[in-house]
Amino acid sequence: MKKRSFVALLAAVPAVAYAQMGGRRRGGENGAKGGGRAGGPEPQINAMESALHEFEEDLKLTGAQQNAWTAYAEGLRALQKDVARERAPRGAEMQLELPKRLDRVADVARDRLTAVEDIVDSAKALFKLLSPEQQAVADPRLANLIGLSFGATCAPAAARPPQKPAPQAVPPAPPA
């Protein structure tokens, strides 16, 4: 039951691209990079790759920690590619009967859960190898990068920016 709840949670999380990572891009104002063509298209930046690169630099990994990092990062990349592939429209899949499409949804969710569990295991193994200083850097980010694979963040409530309350409906004034 716990796994189903976890999969449902991951499916229900709204797409908040770089919430934990600050949504920043390298470069100048408005995310523009120097040296580009004036008026040309802005280069695409993969948020996951950017976050992984910055995270790896911030951790200052030793040689003994590198294999654990690689396993974690490769798992995240594979999950992100799987999610992106699934988001691409597929006309042939829509031709399937509803029961087969529902089975496909369940199969994809099970596969993703397995992938996430593998990433969690690699993240725990990496975390154990880190020094206390590195653990302080890694603590808020290890889980958040898993969420970034889905286009979301998993930051604890205390670390999230405060949410504005939903506007309250004002009842109409009675006719005068």
**Mean per-residue pLDDT for 88-117?**
85
Q: DSSP of 19-37, one letter per residue? A: TTTTT--SSSGGGPPTTSP
Letter string b/e over residues 84-120, b meaning 16 or more CB atoms within 10 A of that residue's CB: eeeeeeeeeeeeeeeeeeeeeeeeebeebeebbeebe
**Mean per-residue pLDDT for 87-116?**
85
What global pTM score does this model have? 0.60
Q: Is residue 5 part of a domain?
A: no
- Highest-scoring range by mean pLDDT, 15-19, 68-72, 109-113: 68-72
Phi, psi angles (nearest 5°) of residue 143: -75, -35
More confident residue, 5 or 105: 105
Q: Is residue 131 part of a domain?
A: yes
Q: Is residue 142 part of a domain?
A: yes
| Nearest alpha carbon to residue 18 among 45, 42, 58 | 45
Rg (C-alpha) for the chain, rounded Å, is 20
- pLDDT for res 96: 82
Q: Look at the chain and report how many structural domains it folds into.
A: 1
22: Cβ contacts below 8 Å, ≥ 6 apart: none
Residue 45 pLDDT class (50, 70, 90 cuts): confident
The boundaries of the domain holding residue 76 are: 46-155
Q: Is residue 141 part of a domain?
A: yes
Residue 41: CB atoms within 10 Å: 7
Q: Is residue 86 part of a domain?
A: yes
Percent of the chain surpassing pLDDT 90: 34
